[in-house]
Amino acid sequence: MEIVRRGGPEGWLALAVAAAATAGGLALVVTAGRLPLLAGTLPPEAFYKALVGHVTFSLVVWLLSCSVAVALQHSGASAPGYGPFLGAVGAGVMLAGLVLPGRPVVIDYLPYVSSPPYIGGYLLFAAAAAVGLWPCATSGPCWGPRSLAVAYAASLVAVATGLARLGGISAQAALWSGGHALQFVYVVGLALAWYALAGVPSHLSLLSRTAFGLAGALSWVPTLLVLASGPVDLPRWTPVNLAMGLSLSVPTLLHLVVLAPQVARSRPELEGTALRWSVGLYLLGGLLAPVGAANTLRVTAHYHAMLVGGVTTAFMGVAYRILEEAGLPVRKDAGRLQVHLFGLGVLMTVAALLVAAAHGLPRKAYLSAAHPWSVPLLLLAGAAAFATAGGGWFVASTWLALRRARRAPDSRPFPVLAGGR
């Protein structure tokens, strides 16, 4: 059995799995707090803190930790062993901030609790991700991991610029640019995961190198936009949001052009199952882009399909590859069923969100008494049960495998994923 490095992809995978478990638990709290007969039993502040925590741990801690793990695995770079530990401390401080006094600020992309512990935890986790990605930016001509590191740097600059210009005016506008730049990190991580699952080297095609370079360059556009005049209106400008969506989609579609033959011929094994679910859910999310419906549950269906579905299923598939490359036992048949269950749960959730949107169920709303949306919420609860079962299966299987891993110094070589550099 290979020896696991603390600062390698396995360490970041362990942090990601813990974040997924936390996000899933908080999702159950949010869902239960809106169900018929239970609506209003959870205090408003507790409900919104659970919602902030769910979004933070699912769309920031989980996805960013997986992105770091995929980039390290793809490049074979050696990262400091304290990176995942620092990230875990930051995530733990954020979790503590959910139960300590503080006002939940429910905004898109980067919601937070207005308290020193929560914000301090955010900063610690952000610094840890930078520690993990720095080797990917400086070691070797690895186009994909380097592009991911560049996009993460762009997101940090975008957050700092937005806060400097608009921090005292509008939290939504101040963090809009940073949230959009962070999406480029995830789509580059998604592309790397696709290449790994398809067993295709990501650097051999000129088109794939062009797509990675384009994503890295476009990730700086949100910072330029926030420096433009009237940035407080950016979140409400439909043409700008549409342009940002296209900027995210074009590099990813170029990767799909390269990988289309492998996707079409993928076998019904674990890697092929994860690849097909990921591509299908990502494309579905693109079709559901909420143009002109930015304040409805259609936007929730959109990002659940693309991020919770498309990106997460790809990361799940690569997580099993990371475990297997480390010499840890992986039951591929069980993993394939787990991905099927999770993908089906996400698909059902997206459908239930669209039904709820058609019935006028408000987005991010606290329901305090009897309401007319019992059927849509029951559909959501049933869909969430499937997704939670699939996600819980993944968390349990990967966590048990990681616990069997032996500790070793970070200098120990670690095998590069097939189809990597």
Q: How confident is the model at residue 78 (pLDDT cuts 50, 70, 90)?
A: confident
Give the whole-angstrom CA distance, residue 319 versus residue 338: 13
Residue 52: CB partners within 8 Å, gap ≥ 6? 98, 104, 105, 106, 111, 112, 113
Write out the two tokens for 121: 């935890």
What would the mean pLDDT of 385-398 be, rounded to a whole number? 92
Q: How many Å apart are CA 161 and CA 158, to the nearest integer? A: 5
- What's the rounded mean pLDDT across residues 68-79? 88
Lowest model confidence (mean pLDDT) among 90-99, 121-130, 246-255: 246-255
Host H or E run for residue 271: helix 270-287
pLDDT of residue 264: 85
CA distance linking residue 151 with residue 144, whole number of Å: 11
Residue 175 near residue 115, CB atoms below 8 Å? no
Q: What is the pTM of this model?
A: 0.90
Q: What's the Cα-to-Cα distance from 183 to each of 39, 57, 263, rounded to whole Å?
A: 33, 15, 23
Angle formed by the axes of helices 270-287 and 332-358, nearest 10°: 10
Instruction: Give residue for tokens 């990988």.
Output: 259
**What is d(CA 173, CA 233) in angstroms, rounded to the nearest whole number?**
7
- Model confidence at 363: pLDDT above 80: no
Q: How far apart are CA 390 and CA 395, in angstroms?
A: 9
Long-range CB contacts (within 8 A, 24+) of 180-183:
180/109, 180/222, 180/244, 181/151, 181/154, 181/155, 181/157, 181/219, 181/220, 181/222, 181/223, 182/60, 182/64, 182/109, 182/110, 182/151, 182/152, 182/155, 183/248
- Do strands 103-105 and 112-114 pair parallel, antiparallel, or not at all (unpaired)? antiparallel
**pLDDT (tens digit per residue) in 323-361:** 988 888 888 999 999 999 999 999 999 999 888 888 887
DSSP state of 405: P
**CATH code of the domain occupying 4-408:** 1.20.210.10
Give per-residue burial for 47-80: e unless 16+ CB within 10 Å, then b. Answer: bbbbbbbbbbbbbbbbbbbbbbbbbbbbbbbbbb
Q: Which residues contact 179 (CB under 8 A, 6 or more apart)?
A: 108, 109, 110
Closest C-alpha among 279, 394, 281, 280 to residue 335: 394
- The residue-averaged pLDDT of 23-30 equals 90
Burial of 223 (0-12, 13-18, 19+ CB in 10 A): buried
- Give the mean pLDDT of 197-214: 89
pLDDT per position as a tens digit, 126-161: 999 999 999 888 766 678 999 999 999 999 999 999
Q: What is residue 229's predicted lDDT score, i.e. its pLDDT?
A: 65
pLDDT tens-digit series, residues 265-274:
877 889 999 9
Contact 222, 177 (CB under 8 A): yes
Residue 2 has what pLDDT? 40
Q: Which of 355, 339, 308 is nearest to 55 (CA)?
A: 308
